[in-house]
Structure 1
Amino acid sequence: MDLKESVQTPELTKKLLPIILATAIFMQMLDSTILNTSLPAIARDLNESPLDMQNAIISYVLTLAVFMPVSGFLSDKFGTKKVFIFSLILFGAGSLICSLAQSLPQLVVARMIQGLGGSLMTPVGKLALIRTFPKHELLRAMNFAIIPALIGPVLGPLVGGYMVDYLSWHWIFLINIPIALLGIALSLRFMPDYKSQIIDFDLKGFLIFAAASLLLSIALELFGNTVHVTPVLVMLLSGFLMLYFYYRHASSDDNPIFPLSLFQVRTFRVGILGNLATRLGISSIPLLLPMMIQIAYGRSAVTSGWIVAPMAITAMFGKSAVIKILNRFGYRGTLMTNTFIIGILICSMAIPPAHSSIYWYMPIIAILGFFNSIQFTAMNTISIADLRQYHTSSGNSLVSVNQQLAIGFGVAFGLIVLKIFEGDVKLIHNDIHNAFRYTFLVVGILTILSGLIFRRLHFKDGDNMKSDGR
């Protein structure tokens, strides 16, 4: 199927395609949230420290960031249908291997296999959606695709907690397999098979960009696990140097994997930067809060799951309201105000003292879920609002890479800040709960400041994405 055939897509396919994409996002969100609440139990079984288990999360995110850039090329060459089905198979197989892991290194390798599947799964599904729907229908289609997937965070902490407490942590990975099979069954019949006649893979650019992503991500992760700062700083600087080399390469190459002309589009440029800065603060909360409930309050994984669950439930209400909000206030006003509210909510998690009830966090996390939902939909859609057809593959891939890399940075950043405060005994008065409180303050303030990025949007930016919301 050529790219121009997207306008002839059957109505049944247009109705079911968001559901197919939802199965992919559902698995990723379910998998990540289940793992967050289960890390202490997995650490005990594998004889590891809970604070070192972020390797199992970050290894997955790093794999996504490294291999997502090839998703557009593979889709153009082999077709969105074949690549998407292959990614589901790979993700399901990786989940099975995760359940069989006997050590942390084995789990990390298995998570990388999952990451290979995930690196193609979501971006290819989104690419098919973008090429199927016209711009004025795309916001509604993408929003609908994410609504069913939000069930994942609801089930994740609860199902993960119950499985850990009453079965074993191995089942948190096995639950992905039936979902993957459902996605494969739907894709075989309804996933459109878009291809491109122009195929030219920038291998050199891919290798340079992948090296930069790895160096930056690993350096940030190592900041929280080593007392030897100098080697980590060298690695960090090397990552930025590789980004400079990619810039030089993209300036002279005829068809770079990520054309620099993408950044001449203001909405894309602001969307990418805002997504990165905002998620640096937001992404650590789903990990830090369950960890605090279990470590500082000494509660079970099930209890921490119930505390986090409202975040996903209210997110579904946010998805139902985001179209009306964006149509009324525009992308600029919505993103600036929404980011400020999210930052204030994160800071408010530092208010309850150690002797307070853990249920004080439930209304905060519930309200946070609503505004997070609006934030993610707005940031993701404004990034692709003004992309031309020839930039769709590369732009969509870069948005996906940026999003996953930001999540990895956010998780690592939150843990780094936590460990810094944990090591300052005088400041926290030898109370781990105070370390979490100061961490929430730092993360919240960073999120508030990140909202200034969206000031660069024009008040009419995103008007072409407006939908009637039906």
Structure 2
Amino acid sequence: MALSTNDHSPFMTRVTQRLGPMVVPLIVGCALFMQMLDSTVIATALPAMAHSFGEDPVRLNVAITAYLLSAAVFVPICGWAADRFGARQVFASAIVLFTISSTLCGLSQTLGQMVAGRMLQGFAGAMMVPVGRIVLLRTVSKSELVRAMSFLSMPALLGPIFGPAVGGFLVEYGSWRWIFFMNLPIGVLGVILALRYIHDTEAGQPQPLDIIGFLLTAVCLGTLVFCFEAVGHGVLSTPMVLGLLVLGGVCGLLYVKHAERSPHPILDFRLLKIPTFSIALLGGNLCRLAVGAVPFLLAMQLQVAFGMGPFAAGMLTFAGALGALIMKMSASPIIKRFGFRRTLVVNAFLTGASIIGCVLFTPVTPHAVIIIVLLLGGFFRSLQLTGVNSLAYADIGPEQMGRATGMASAVQQLAISLGVAVAAFALKVSMATRGATTLDAYDVIPGFLVIGITMMMSVIFFSRLSANAGSAVSGKK
């Protein structure tokens, strides 16, 4: 895919020439930021939405669950859709659909309308970001992959960080509807940029859709994500959760058997034979537990336990965003100097330590100390995600990009949902142990410890990498 600068204004021509191969990662990164911001900003607005609809606030959790379920069901077919209809067309169409569905959510007058809009958003999100990643992978050379992935790691971290602050500001000073309407200008700009700067790439021969595999993975992933959400919010009884887990597990086992016989499985487990891909997938998703869990735990700690407002807490956690921005300039030199193995092993410990360090926060901790810890944490988490995302595709051929992205995206969806569920479950266990019904500053400690230790455990996988693993991407001699 070549970037076109024909018929551009002199200003846009200069911008394109300066950014060079990073134009496409920036466009895809903006789409990812829109999705991540939207998926986190809604939590702050749930009480206001419930009042507007005349519903119990607890019932409004279904608006979050509907999105996650829809995304989990449809994300496995993103690679097939990109090969069948063209990555550029699917990416641009997904941005349009995400923007339209966001507008419909903002116009909703009932809970049913909101749920329908969120399900449509989930489908669009399942196509938008994974297919955007396919566009990036088919556009950027291996030597530029680390730099390009740093643009994608930032939105994944910035969305959850900005979400609570943006949501709190809009709800407090405007209307909850604007958390959806703000996607309209971003979406319009995204479509214009995508159509102007992204050209279709050559892909492998489109394969027929694995319908049986799609149905089995839809039930498996859908029930697992729903169970994770149910555990986090306590909306289902234990027998019902266990029943759904059994259903999802059975469908998962049936799919494994089906994939062994299918010539074109929707999730191709043969890709796990590629060491860099399998290690990045397994170890990387232990790291991704923190993507959803850390912003959730910080929100509970700063807003509920310490009594800060959403906007004030959001401004503090903005330090994590600054750390991610600094990382963008540092990732390539660090990985080139030390290679993937050393970088991911050492940084896993540093990232875990920065998460565990949050247990030391108290209501009287100087804000400067909190900012420093969160800034370092944002840097380390962003570096880890950049390294993992780059390593995953280091040895993936062009004809495998679609299938690899579909599989990685499906597992990532589960990991992020599981991270929030684990954090919420840790809070509930801590409160139950104390016999309390209200959250205390002590209750967030187990959550930070579990997520931090899990991050460190990813070393088990990364230490299995060879010293020169992914050298074509890292540039390490």
Query: TM > 0.5 between the two?
Result: yes
Alpha-carbon displacement from aligned partner over 1:2-30 (angstroms, at most 9, x marks no partner): xxxx5x66586845322321221121132
Q: Percent sequence identity over matched residues?
A: 35
2 CA distance for matches of 1:97 and 1:358?
A: 39
Aligned equivalent of 2:33: 26
**Partner residue of 1:133?**
140
- The answer as to 2:438 corresponding to 1:421 is no
**Greater mean alpha carbon deviation, residues 389-398 or residues 131-140:** 131-140
SS at match of 1:283: helix
For 1:281 and 1:47, the matched residues in 2 are separated by 34
Q: Work out whether 1:122 is the aligned partner of 2:129.
A: yes
User: Does the CA contact (< 8 Å) of 1:140 and 1:467 recur in 2?
Assistant: no
Is the counterpart of residue 180 in structure 1 residue 210 in structure 2? no
Q: Structure 1 residue 353: deviation in Å?
A: 3.9
Partner of 2:102: 95
Given the alignment of the two structures, is residue 208 of structure 1 paired with residue 224 of structure 2, yes or no?
Answer: no
Query: How far did 1:357 drift?
Result: 5.7
The answer as to whether partners of 2:300 and 2:444 remain within 8 angstroms in 1 is no
Is the 2:281–2:392 contact (alpha carbons within 8 Å) kept by the matching residues of 1? yes
Query: In the alignment, residue 462 of structure 1 is paired with which amino acid?
Result: G
Give the aligned partner of residue 294 of structure 1.
303
Letter in 1 for 2:465: L
Aligned residue identity for 2:24: L
1:61 maps onto 2:68 in alignment: yes
Aligned with residue 400 of structure 2, among 375, 388, 391: 391
Q: 1:48 to 1:116 in 2, by over 3 A?
A: same
Deviates most, 85-94 or 220-229: 220-229
Do the aligned residues in 2 keep the contact of 1:38 with 1:164 (CA within 8 Å)? yes
Q: How far has the Cα of 1:222 moved from its partner?
A: 1.9
Question: In the aligned structure 2, how far is the partner of 1:43 from the partner of 1:434?
Answer: 29
Partner of 2:81: 74
Shift of 1:270: 0.8
Pairing 1:274-423 to 2, within 5 Å after superposition? 274-353=283-362, 356=365, 360-423=369-432
Amino acid at match of 1:29: M
Which amino acid letter does the alignment assign opposite residue 223 of structure 2? L
Change (3 A) 1:246 1:379: same
Tell me if the contact between 1:200 and 1:255 (Cα under 8 Å) persists in the aligned partners.
yes
Give the Å deviation of 1:87. 0.3
Which segment drifts farther, 222-231 or 378-387?
222-231
In the alignment, is the contact (CA less than 8 A) between 1:268 and 1:383 conserved in 2?
yes
Which letter does structure 1 place at the counterpart of 2:359? A
Q: Which residue is 2:256 aligned to?
A: 247
Provide the C-alpha distance between the structure 2 equivalents of 1:40 and 1:349, rounded to a whole number of angstroms: 27
Instruction: Indicate yes or no: 2:226 matched with 1:218.
Output: yes
**Counterpart check, 1:454 vs 2:462:** yes
Between 235-244 and 219-228, the greater mean CA deviation after superposition = 219-228
CA contact (8 A) 1:322 1:374 kept: yes
Rounded to whole Å, the distance in 1 between the matches of 2:439 and 2:414 is 32
**Compared with structure 1, are the counterparts of its residues 467 and 49 closer, same or farther at alpha carbon in structure 2 (3 Å cutoff)?**
farther
Distance 1:448 1:182, change over 3 A: same
- For 2:400 and 2:71, the matched residues in 1 are separated by 21
Deviates more, 1:287-296 or 1:73-82: 287-296
Contact 1:96–1:174 (CA under 8 A) maintained in structure 2: yes
Aligned residues of 1:347 and 1:444 also touching (Cα < 8 A): yes
Q: Across the two proteins, how many residue pairs are aligned to each other?
A: 461
8 Å Cα contact 2:334-2:343 kept in structure 1: yes
Q: CA 1:14/1:359 → structure 2, altered by over 3 Å: closer, same or farther?
A: closer
CA pair 227-145 structure 1, distance change in 2 beyond 3 A: closer
Report if the CA contact (8 A) 2:157-2:382 is conserved.
no
User: 1:44 and 1:420 mapped to 2: Cα distance?
Assistant: 30
- Once the two structures are TM-superposed, the CA of residue 451 in structure 1 deviates from its matched residue by 2.9
CA contact (8 A) 2:103 2:180 kept: yes
Return the offset for 1:288.
Answer: 2.1
Secondary structure at the aligned position of 1:459 is classed as: coil
Amino acid at match of 2:250: L
Contact preservation (8 Å) 1:307, 1:362: yes
Give yes or no for contact 1:205–1:250 (8 Å, CA) kept in 2: yes
Q: Are positions 1:443 and 2:451 aligned together?
A: yes
Q: Distance in 1 between matches of 2:183 and 2:273?
A: 40
CA distance in 1, matches of 2:309, 2:350: 30
1:36/1:69 CA distance change after superposition, 3 Å: same
Shift in Å, 1:251: 0.7
Q: 1:215 to 1:431 in 2, by over 3 A?
A: closer
Cα distance in structure 2, aligned partners of 1:33 and 1:365: 18
CA distance change for structure 1 residues 60 and 429 in 2, over 3 Å: closer, same or farther? closer
Identify unmatched segments of 5+ residues in structure 1.
Answer: 1-5
Give the Å deviation of 1:104: 5.0
Task: Tell me the amino acid that sits aligned with residue 472 of structure 2.
Answer: N
Distance verdict in 2 for CA 1:48–1:331, change over 3 Å: farther
Seen in structure 2, the aligned counterparts of structure 1 residues 39 and 363 have a Cα distance that, compared at 3 Å, is farther
Tell me if the contact between 2:53 and 2:109 (Cα under 8 Å) persists in the aligned partners. yes
Q: Which residue of 2 aligns with 1:165?
A: 172
Match status 1:193 vs 2:200: yes
CA RMSD of aligned residues (A): 2.7
CA offset at residue 369 of structure 1? Answer: 0.6
Q: Give distance in 2, aligned partners of 1:144 and 1:327.
A: 17
Counterpart AA for 1:301: P
Structure 2 unaligned spans of 5+: 6-15
Q: Is the 8 A contact 1:127 1:392 kept in 2?
A: yes
Q: CA distance change for structure 1 residues 149 and 430 in 2, over 3 Å: closer, same or farther?
A: closer
CA contact (8 A) 2:349 2:456 kept: yes
Deviation of 1:37 (Å): 4.3
Deviation at residue 90 of structure 1 after TM alignment: 0.9
2:441 corresponds in structure 1 to: 433
Q: Distance in 2 between matches of 1:291 and 1:349?
A: 12
| SS at 1:81 equivalent | helix
Deviations 1:159-191 (A, max 9, x none): 332212111222111111100000111122222
